[in-house]
Chain A
Amino acid sequence: MTKTIVVTSGKGGVGKTTTSASIATGLAKRGYKTVVIDFDVGLRNLDLVMGCERRVVYDLVNLVNQESSLHQTLIKDKRIENLYILPASQTRDKDALTIEGIARVMHKLKKSDFDYIICDSPAGIEKGAKMALYFADEAIVTTNPEVSSVRDSDRILGILQSESKRSKMNEEPVKEHLLITRYNPGRVKDGQMLSVDDIVDLLAIPLLGIIPESPTVLDCSNEGKPVILDDDSEAGQAYSDAIDRLLGEITKPHRFMEAPKKGFLSRLFG
């Protein structure tokens, strides 16, 4: 059974693409055949984070318009077995996507025995975001610990309830997961950021993971390497924990919620 998971947030810049890349890589690393789709048509980013930007020939829009085959369009990851990337088009816009076209692509992926389809949603609540979440079985709602991000997440949760295929077909609702990214326990303590408890209280959905704010995340993005592959970093370990919970180990305790005991200078310079 193929599972389709959308990574969404409403707000931009909270870490959707970083999360999509790491979740897809993490699942593939555990042996699941996984594809990650960039739905951000016109603002192609996922290929950069996955480090395959030079290998993009065809893209999602070509596939939707039946101008290329699945085999031609999917980019096989060089590091991880079972991992494929379906890039977005950089020259087109979101109007190039249709539900029927996406449905055809999803059907082909399911017939190719993928275990997981990870949909990297664009920001906003417009057509692109709605297309990305339409076919979702589960949703990872990526949220930063600040009020505007939490409010936008609340909004996107409402859209998941009313505009996903599952809601329209009156099926079991989309399973929702909360992933808090860029969490900085020190700033939470100082009252500059919302705490995990505040966010869970506001959004009222189960917590999948807490990814600590870390310079490693940006370093990895620049390198074109999903941060989950950096086993030494806290962010990488936190994503690994999230994969465990996604695969059913829901009682796994959350880490990186306390401020590390560091000196004043080392805190300043990270």
Chain B
Amino acid sequence: MSSKAGVELKGGMYTFMSLKLHTSDTDIINQQLADKVQQAPAFFKNTPVVVDFSALEALTDEQFDANELIECVRRHKLVPIVASLSNKSSPLGDSIAIPLIEGSVRSAATQKSTEKQSSQEQTEEQNEPSSAIEGSTISREVEFIVKAPLFINKPVRSGQQIYARETDLIIMGPVGPGAEVIADNNIHIYGPLRGRALCGVSGNASTRIFCTSLEAELVSVAGSFRMLETIPPELRGKPAQIWLEDGKLRIEPL
């Protein structure tokens, strides 16, 4: 838990702004981008964007230079990091000089599920609802990914291990001594916590553990941990929350 590796490879999900192009006319794009950027120059400066070409794929007959469109985006101090196409192997894809990904923002959920199948991941995740707000020709699309929490409505027994990947863990019942409950997000236990609880295990330091009776063997937030002996006796058996503040683990009654 304490040994620090020099490098670490991790899978993660990030939210990026997506710029969907509905036209190949550089004049229109220039004009509308300039208007947008002017509204909040600081916000847009050096912001990485995904350039969504999916609406232009149908226009294959019409000759246009995709790289010129990307260049046009760069001129407005945006940083195109990747081009998004509904089909990576379309002729348009060959001409684009930046990395490609498949799928558009709107189909994020389906794209996720195909990725999931290919990597053969088995977690208790639900389909993430994604919402896109589409305005004028050039619109800022914001993606909200909300994963359903992992919900356990029976006691977690000694020797059992429950892991909520990329989401919250909610347990209705006791967590027995020798049991381990782990989550990338928060852990909520409506019952006594007698085993180990580790939240934010992939590094999220703003996660917390909540339980209705703190009798834990060990609690950990993003790698900082405390054993039962170091938990103040007056807090034992009481409803409590545990979180990280300035790198220090804090335990307070609820």
Contacts and interface: CB of A to CB of B under 8 A. Distances in A.
Interface of A: 125, 151-152, 154-155, 157-159, 161-162, 202, 204
A154 B176 contact: yes
A155 B154 contact: no
B160 A162 contact: yes
B158 A154 contact: yes
Nearest to B178: A151
Best-buried of B154, B159, B174, B194 by chain A (most CB within 10 Å):
B159
Contacts of B154: 161
Contacts of B157: 154-155, 157-158, 161
B223 interface: no
B159 A204 contact: no
B253 interface: no
B48 interface: no
Contacts of B179: 154, 158
A204 B177 CA distance: 13
Nearest to A159: B159
Contact of B178 (A125, A154, A161, A204): A154
Contacts of B173: 204
A155 B160 CA distance: 8
A151 B177 CA distance: 7
B159 A155 contact: yes
Best-buried of B158, B173, B179, B194 by chain A (most CB within 10 Å):
B158
Contact of A158 (B159, B174, B194): B159
B160 A204 contact: no
Contacts of A161: 154, 157, 160
Interface in B161-184: 173-174, 176-179
A158 B177 contact: no
A202 B176 contact: yes
Contact of B177 (A154, A157, A159): A154
Closest 10 CB pairs of A and B: A158-B157, A154-B158, A155-B158, A154-B176, A158-B160, A155-B159, A204-B155, A157-B157, A154-B157, A158-B159
A154 B178 CA distance: 9
A162 B158 CA distance: 12
B130 to A, nearest CB: 31
A158 B72 CA distance: 60
B155 A151 contact: no
A211 B165 CA distance: 44
B248 to A, nearest CB: 31
Contacts of B160: 158, 161-162
Contacts of A204: 155, 173-174
B181 to A, nearest CB: 13
A51 B155 CA distance: 39
Given A155-B178, A158-B160, A161-B154, 16 more contacts: A125-B159, A151-B177, A152-B158, A154-B157, A154-B159, A154-B176, A154-B178, A154-B179, A155-B159, A157-B157, A158-B156, A158-B157, A158-B158, A158-B179, A202-B194, A204-B173
15 contacts: A151-B178, A152-B158, A154-B158, A154-B176, A154-B177, A154-B178, A155-B158, A155-B159, A157-B155, A158-B156, A158-B160, A159-B159, A161-B157, A202-B174, A202-B176
Contacts of B156: 158
A152 B158 CA distance: 8
A129 to B, nearest CB: 13
A159 B178 CA distance: 13
Contacts of A159: 159
A152 B174 CA distance: 16
A18 to B, nearest CB: 24
Interface string B53-67: 000000000000000
Nearest to B177: A151
Nearest to B195: A154
